[in-house]
Structure 1
Amino acid sequence: MRKYDDFLAEQLQDEEFKKEYDNLQPEFDAIRAILDARVSQNLTQKQLAERSGINQADISKLENGT
């Protein structure tokens, strides 16, 4: 993981990149919260889909940020 951390640190030196990266942080935080909540309940995406009525493919897209 060191290579990624080094690359990110280098990219964050660019003001425009850092601004865009910082603007995405709330989205990443929401994704992490959804994923952590699902995992803490020991649910698969399929189980969450059945409980929530949200398509499993859509849950996957949310968790992947797409």
Structure 2
Amino acid sequence: MLPLPEHMDKGRIFSASTFLRGGVDFEKIKELAGWLTSVPAGIGPVVLAVLMCNVLYALKYSLNIDL
């Protein structure tokens, strides 16, 4: 396994106030990244939407129907 860059962690990052912040140190990455998602919401809504689309495609395929 390749080593992670210094601004990334395998698991979680705790700030000085011991709040859980996710796997990327925002202050170190904000100049490098084009897009960031917030830790509390993250990409959950996007993942859910894509998952539901895939479920509909699977249903369409299994029933051989055109939606």
TM-score > 0.5 by shorter chain:
no
Instruction: Normalising by structure 2, report the TM-score.
Output: 0.34
Pick the structure with greater CA Rg: 2
The structure richer in helix per residue is: 1
Larger relative CO (CA 8 A, sep 6+): 1 or 2? 1
